Chains A and B, each alone.
Chain A
Amino acid sequence: MKLRSDYEYSWWRRLVRFVDGETLEDAERRAEETRESHEKIQQKNDIEVEKQFEQEEKEDREDRKRRLEAEHEKEAMELLEKYKNWPKEHGVKIFGRLYAIMAVLLCIVIISTLLITVSYLPEFGHPENPNNNEVVEKYNKEGLYETGATNAVAGMILDYRAFDTLGESHVLFIAAVCVMILLRLEMTKEGKPTDKKRAEEENDRLYEPKNDKILQFSAKILVPVIVLFGIYVILNGHLSPGGGFSGGAIIGAGLILYVNAYGFEKAKRIMNRRNYAVISVVPLLFYAGAKGYSFFTGANHLDSGISVGTPGEILSAGLILPLNICVGIVVACTMYHFYTLFRKGGM
């Protein structure tokens, strides 16, 4: 008979107990006794049945079974091991080969498509080509008078299509910012690295070569010439081939040579972090401001008050000369900065 656990506390039982004159303890003891005796009988039965079963089983089956099981298990384990190791041994290899084959096929398809396309394009340099149109004609014929630049390319990139070049110089700037995020070491105010890992990276700088006499001697001769040549290329940007981008790259190369010969301590006198920030931000702001003014006046058909000057003179071509200087400074700074950042940490 199954009883609920709170059976003894039910109103009915209380009434029965009250009628029988029992206390709660008595009832509980009795319930305990019946449960125990029940359990004993059940256990006895179980044990007997089990013993019988075991005796029957043991004698004839156990040995055979154990042997079979062991064999099966061994085989299964071997198979499992084989399957598990298969990708490690072969999978990557097969994938790598498939990947290489597919990559080569894809490249061949793309290359052949592009080559076939090129064979259909208009012949190079033919006077009847579609890109020999009124735009090119105007650039060639009137460019000199409209922009004042004898170097037609400078006139195009810094006057006709100045908006594109403004964007392009910001591409350089944002690339420098990204490299800065990636590589710049943060220092405390005393010029010490902020944490231990950084300090270890800093230690790499101890292995930089120092005081190479031959290098220093050649740098002493070369650097001023290189920088001077760069300045010439920038300043003559509107007169002859060259301009801000190429001149800036030359100056940047000169600065990098100087750093290699004389070390960062000396270079820091001119190019430290504060100076870099000023030197890179001011030209870009001037650029944006000057071109903003020119765009605004142009679009609203106002007179900008910037004269073209006499073509061929050094002070001519309106905004092109100052803009070339700005672009040159930005390019030189960016190149030098990249170099210093890749030496683990920056200036």
Chain B
Amino acid sequence: MEFVCNFPFFCIVLSMATGVISSVLKPKAAKALSVILVSLSCICSFLVLGYTIKTGSSFTYMMGHFPAPFGNEIRAGILEGVMASFFSVIMLLSLLGGEKYLKVDIEEPKQNLYFVLVDLLLSSLLALVYTNDLFTAYVFVEINTIAAGGLIMIRSNGHSMLASMKYMIMSLLGSGLLLIGISLQYDLTGHLLMENIQTAIAGLAKTGEYAVPLTVIIGLISVGIAIKSALFPFHAWLSDAYGFSTASSAAILSSLVSKAYIFLLIKIVYRVIGTEVFWNSKITNVFFVLGVAGMLFGSISAMKEHDMRKMIAFSSVAQIGYIYMGLGFGTELGVVAAVFHIMSHAATKSMLFVACRGLSEVSGDKKDFSDLKGAGFRNRIAGAAFSVGAFSMVGVPLFAGFISKLYLTSAALELMSVKMAVAVIVLAISTILNALYFVRAVISIYTPRNEHYRDASFRPGKTFCGGMVCFIGINFVLGLASYPLIIAIEQGLHMFW
């Protein structure tokens, strides 16, 4: 076995150990350690990705001395490599971009605990991406949930406390449904390893045995994950959680936490339940309807907001609707489009949250449209990043959002059913709605007003600038050079079989 194959495991265990050590370090040391860890995980994930592309196959890694159905196992293919490296990069940039605001938003003695949460969150994200075992996935879902709740709560004002309470209630409901689903499927198949479950479920589907419990299991797992990733009717926790947490937290939550759950769902669809059984189960229709509804209602709620960050948060509801619509097509092209949209949305939304904090910094720390007027002139780099993000969200060519909308539409056009018409029409309407509120926001930040907020001595921080430039760069790369990535996603999905 090549030495590279150890890297996924190294990253997971190292990030756990770093999290534990950070709890006794000074904030500065904890931050440095955390940044080093995330960068290391970037490098390792890219090496794993390169290795899997080179060999053209996936590999499994035995966690301990016992082979798979008896012991634990992780697995890495191209798609896992892509996701792990992408998540690490976004996490690094979100941390660097929002680093300055952590000092403002969090009490000084508790700052090191923030990095404990971030490190453990990274370990859980990587484990969710690499896992090949359904129960391991659940254990790390737990870590993910608690860490995310902590990231919201650590700002310690009334709003963020309430927001984290809402988040915990909804998210734990989702975890509970997921756990019930996993236990029921263990009762039917007797396995927790993904391949073995898939064989067992395929057998059950063929004989028609246990049809009712199987449907319920699929429903429970899907709904559980849908609640945790804020699909439309379950999004009540989202606006507060993203709107009142500190900038890095909002970026990490919106772009990594909810996306990791969706990736887990895709993995479960492909590797646990099996695409055929899943697509025949009609739950795809539910996903489609809820996704489409989310695209419309998320945008409408966003248009009503006067608070810029809440507007961005509600637009997340719409974007997650896009992803679920892609899954709801029930075709492979739909899933490819959904995976690409996971990435383009993650890159864009984290940039928007950090940029919005940069804009409100030069507007007296307020978030309303009226106060943010002219902020684009006062903090130019944040203004530029915000505009790029807004255009990407609307789907202007050159930017990442355009490509994902293109692929979603072409996936829809392949369908030849009622779904096609609905999908295309709603995509068009939703794009117009997106344009309405995002272009309004861009115009608003470039309207020269509020000169009393101008501070001649203001300079954006170096890490903020660096983070923003990288974010803009990633957006352009996703928008201009998406083809290799799409190929990689397709190959990765093929490896799931």
Binding site for B on A (CB under 8 A): 113-114, 116-117, 120-122, 129-136, 138-139, 146, 159-164, 166-168, 170-171, 173-175, 177-178, 180-182, 184, 186, 277-278, 280-281, 284-285, 288-289, 291-292, 294-301, 304
Contact = CB atoms under 8 A, between A and B. Distances in A.
Contacts of A300: 1, 6
B210 A177 contact: no
Main secondary structure of the interface of B (DSSP, over half): helix
Q: Which of A177, A184, A278, A300 has the most CB of B within 10 A?
A: A177
A182 B153 contact: yes
Contacts of B149: 178
A171 B139 contact: yes
Contacts of B66: 146, 159-160, 298
B188 A299 contact: no
B143 interface: yes
A138 B70 contact: yes
Contact of A294 (B64, B140, B216): B64
A201 to B, nearest CB: 14
A278 to B, nearest CB: 8
Given A129-B190, A181-B113, 13 more contacts: A122-B188, A122-B210, A130-B200, A134-B69, A163-B72, A167-B136, A171-B139, A173-B120, A177-B23, A177-B150, A178-B146, A178-B150, A178-B153
Interface stretch (B31-39, B179-187, B280-288, B371-379): B179-187
Contacts of B62: 295, 298-299
Given A120-B210, A130-B200, A299-B1, A294 B65 contact: yes
22 contacts: A117-B213, A120-B213, A122-B187, A133-B190, A136-B190, A160-B64, A160-B66, A167-B124, A170-B19, A170-B123, A173-B23, A177-B23, A178-B117, A181-B156, A277-B23, A281-B23, A281-B24, A292-B9, A294-B64, A295-B62, A295-B64, A298-B65
Q: Which of A113, A180, A295 has the most CB of B within 10 A?
A: A295
B116 A177 contact: yes
Contacts of A136: 190
Nearest to A139: B70
Top 9 closest pairs, chain A to chain B, by CB: A131-B190, A167-B139, A163-B72, A298-B65, A130-B190, A163-B63, A178-B150, A117-B216, A133-B190
Contacts of A132: 190
Contacts of B158: none
Nearest to A131: B190
Contacts of B184: 117, 121
B191 A133 contact: yes
A47 B9 CA distance: 94
B212 interface: yes
B216 A177 contact: no
B298 to A, nearest CB: 23
Query: What class of interface size applies to chain B in its complex with A?
Result: 35 or more
B397 interface: no
A287 to B, nearest CB: 9
Nearest to B116: A177
A139 B66 CA distance: 11
B462 interface: no
A120 to B, nearest CB: 5
A301 B66 CA distance: 10
Interface string B90-125: 000000000000000001011001001100100110
A331 B64 CA distance: 24
Contacts of A298: 62-66, 71
B113 A180 contact: yes
B13 interface: yes
B217 to A, nearest CB: 8
Given A114-B180, A181-B153, A163 B188 contact: no
Q: Which of B127, B153, B156, B187 has the most CB of A within 10 A?
A: B187
A171 B13 contact: no
B70 A163 contact: no
A40 to B, nearest CB: 45
B80 to A, nearest CB: 16
B109 A288 contact: no
A174 B210 contact: no
